[in-house]
Amino acid sequence: MRSLAYLLAVACIAQARNNKYIVPGATWYDTDGVVLSAHAGGIVQANDTWYWFGQDEREEDKNLFSGLNVYSSSDLLNWKNEGRALSPVNGTDIDASRVVERPKVVFSEETQEWILWFHSDNSSYGLLQQGIATSPNITGPYTFQRAFNPLGGTSQDFGLFQDVDGQSYALYSNGDAADAHDNIIARMNSNFTDVEEVVYTFPDFDLEAPAIIYTGTHYYILMSHKSGYRSNNVVVFSAEKITGPWSIQSFIAPLGTRTFNSQSTMGITVNGSSTTTHLYCGDQWATAKTLYDSRYMWLPATIDESTSSFTIDWHDLYSIDTATGEVTYPEGTVYEAEDGVLSGSAYITTCVIDANSSVTFTGIAGTGNPQWVSVYYHNPDGLWGDNRSGTGQTFILWRNATVSVNDEDPVTIRQLSGSSGIILSQPLNVTFASGFDNTLTIAGVSGAWPNRTYSAY
């Protein structure tokens, strides 16, 4: 098996403020050039604008809850920061010491207000509630209304789906207790401020992070297993009616990739003039201490209605036209490790790089503008198993490597874990000089595991 360093020789972003592509797993910047922070989010479309709500997770924010952000976009590529949709309120259920996560928004025709739903909890996750806030404006600010136990029960990760008939549904699991491993679809009341009836229960599946995509033929509900910030294999069920019956579960991505190291959070449907495209949107979590460095994993879905199949394939980057619904994939140039210049203890089988070695690629074509490089690697460190029933061994979420262009200061990249034989890739935005005399060096990182690198390029 050959592992590749894959260079997309196309101009991509200028000052990180005019995105031409969606790059799964890359750091995403808003139109001001600031890292986009909207984790575990939800997206709603109003007229020709999309609004992305998500958790604010920044390195400088030390509170458990620092706020929910909202961004707007007309093309799904470039996002304007519209500010804080919901902020902490001292002495309430949305105090800075509380849990407010997985925001979803829906418009109530009855009240003429936007209703923001979220998972509400204390720091030990012992309350397991849902919360709502309201605003006359989609971007807020939203006014906190209440936190509650839906139908007197418990609620973990929250999702929301609005059907084509306007009816909205709450999606949630009912907890980790021995008698609470169910996943629930519950119909909301007429003004979307409460849940009033469970319409379907997935008994004892013990899943989380629910999201529904409707194609006009089938409903597809995506959910992940419970493995903390470790990614796992997202599953999908299908049904012709939201009330079921629902199919048995299947995986949406190749096993061993753990859904390309992501967890489901929402789906996007782009109804274009030429075609309808559905996007799987997931979070690629870092660790509990480094949530600010979590990334987004958005990939087009492949749906076969004849077999009710919903899958995603890997793409280093792509562009979507929200007017037509069409997705395009640029082509790049491939540079193979065995053609590079090795140093230290690196050797050619699959080109193993450790802390004292490197591989250098020469003769790289540059444009003088920012370009995307995708580094393909092999890191079979996923010792915990693909889902919750893992081995219990110590796990490594990623290893590190450095990338240096033309002998400039190196940049550290993460190489997330996969399974044996699984090749993954990590994107990096760099600027090569114009011409064909550029070099790119990938090196190991000295230090304790996991900072020591074992990878194949």
Give dist(CA 206, CA 176) in Å, integer. Answer: 8
Quote the distance between the C-alpha of residue 39 and its chain's center: 8
Yes or no: say if 46 and 82 are a contact pair by the CB < 8 Å rule.
no
User: What are the beta bridge partners of residue 390?
Assistant: none
171 CB-near residues (< 8 Å, 6+ apart): 158, 159, 160, 161, 183, 184, 185, 186, 210, 211, 212, 221
Yes or no: say if 194 and 188 are a contact pair by the CB < 8 Å rule.
yes
From residue 440, give the alpha-carbon distance in Å to each of 84, 335, 409, 410, 443.
40, 10, 11, 10, 10
SS (H, E, C) 421-437: CCEEEEEEEEECCCEEE
User: What are the beta bridge partners of residue 161?
Assistant: 169
User: Model-level pTM?
Assistant: 0.92
Around Cβ 447, how many Cβ atoms within 10 Å?
A: 11
**What is the structure's pLDDT at 29?**
95
Digit-by-digit pLDDT tens for the chain (457 residues) are 233 444 544 433 334 468 999 999 999 999 999 999 999 999 999 999 999 999 999 988 889 999 999 999 999 999 999 999 999 999 999 999 999 999 999 999 999 999 999 999 999 999 999 999 999 999 999 999 999 999 999 999 999 999 999 999 999 999 988 889 999 999 999 999 999 999 999 999 999 999 999 999 999 999 999 988 888 999 999 999 999 999 999 999 999 899 999 999 999 999 999 999 999 999 999 888 888 999 999 999 999 999 999 999 999 999 999 999 999 999 888 888 777 777 776 666 655 656 677 889 999 999 999 999 999 988 887 665 666 544 444 456 788 888 999 999 999 888 888 888 889 999 999 999 999 999 999 988 765 444 444 333 3
Give dist(CA 417, CA 396) in Å, integer. Answer: 7
Give dist(CA 133, CA 62) in Å, integer. Answer: 23
Yes or no: say if 109 and 46 are a contact pair by the CB < 8 Å rule.
no
SS (H, E, C) the chain: CCCEEEEEEEECCCCCCCCCCECCCCCCECCCCCECCCEEEEEEEECCEEEEEEECCCCCCCCCCCCEEEEEECCCCCCEEEEEEECCCCCCCCCCCCEEEEEEEEEECCCCEEEEEEEEECCCCCCCEEEEEEECCCCCCCEEEEEECHHHCCCCCEEEEECCCCCEEEEEECCCCCCCCCEEEEEECCCCCCEEEEEEEECCCCEEEEEEEECCCCEEEEEEECCCCCCCCCEEEEECCCCCCCCCCEECCCCCCHHHHCEEEEEEEEECCCCEEEEEEEEECCCCCCHHHCEEEEEEEEEECCCCEEEECCCCCEEECCCCCCEECCCCEEEEHHHCEEECCCECCCCEECCCCEEEEEEEEECCCEEEEEEEEECCCCCCCCCCCCCCCCCCCEEEEEEEECCCCCEEEEEECCCCCCEEEEEEEEECCCEEEEEEEEEECCCCCCCCCCEEC
Q: Of 359, 369, 341, nearest to 432 (Cα)?
A: 369
**What is the token pair recorded at 37?**
């922070």
**What is the structure's pLDDT at 453?**
40
19 CB-near residues (< 8 Å, 6+ apart): 12, 13, 28, 29, 77, 78
**What is the structure's pLDDT at 393?**
45
From residue 121, give the alpha-carbon distance in Å to each of 12, 92, 126, 263, 283.
41, 11, 7, 20, 20
The greatest distance separating any two alpha carbons of the chain, rounded to the nearest whole angstrom, comes to 69
Q: What's the pLDDT tens digit per position in 408-432?
A: 999 988 888 888 888 999 999 999 9
Q: Of 115, 63, 114, 111, nearest to 89 (Cα)?
A: 63
Yes or no: say if 117 and 135 are a contact pair by the CB < 8 Å rule.
no
**What is the structure's pLDDT at 141?**
98
